Amino acid sequence: MVAPLGTLVGVAAAFAYVGAVDPNEPGHYPVCPLLRFTGVYCPGCGGLRSAHAFVHGDLGAALGANALAVLGYGLFAVLMTVWLIRAVRGTPMRLVITPVWGWGLAAVLALFTLVRNLPVGSALAP
């Protein structure tokens, strides 16, 4: 139970911090280097603003800041629930990421990055 509970506490602490320290205020967090030097939104751009809005219950703003991050929050919640249930039952959690899943995730991130930087995908930009 130590590993899943430690992970849950760490993630909850990170969300609590981002919820308390507004990323919309300048100077609290570093600027994305890719955005700063190229003007291109990376797949993580808007992630802190998304987490802040999510913590405050504003799902629309969270989706507007980074829709992929909100999807990630849901995926994390599902995996965390499965991990906790397995830990209580004494069943080990084995999450194996095969090359197919790794390349698939990379393709989704690349496609998301490409689309959010095109005029047609401007709704996905933070």
pLDDT > 90? residue 93: no
The two three-digit tokens of residue 15, written as one number: 């969300």
Report which of residues 68 and 3 the model is more confident about: 68
pLDDT 10s digits, 29-68: 998 899 999 999 999 999 999 999 999 999 999 999 999 9
Quickly list DSSP for 67-112. Answer: HHHHHHHHHHHHHHHHHHHHHHHTPPP-----HHHHHHHHHHHHHH
Collect all residues with Cβ–Cβ distance below 8 Å to 56 and sequence separation of at least 6: 19
Phi-psi region of 46 (alpha: psi -120 to 50; beta: other; left: phi over 0): left
pLDDT for res 77: 94
pTM summary value: 0.86
pLDDT for res 101: 92
1 within 8 A of 31, measured Cβ to Cβ: no
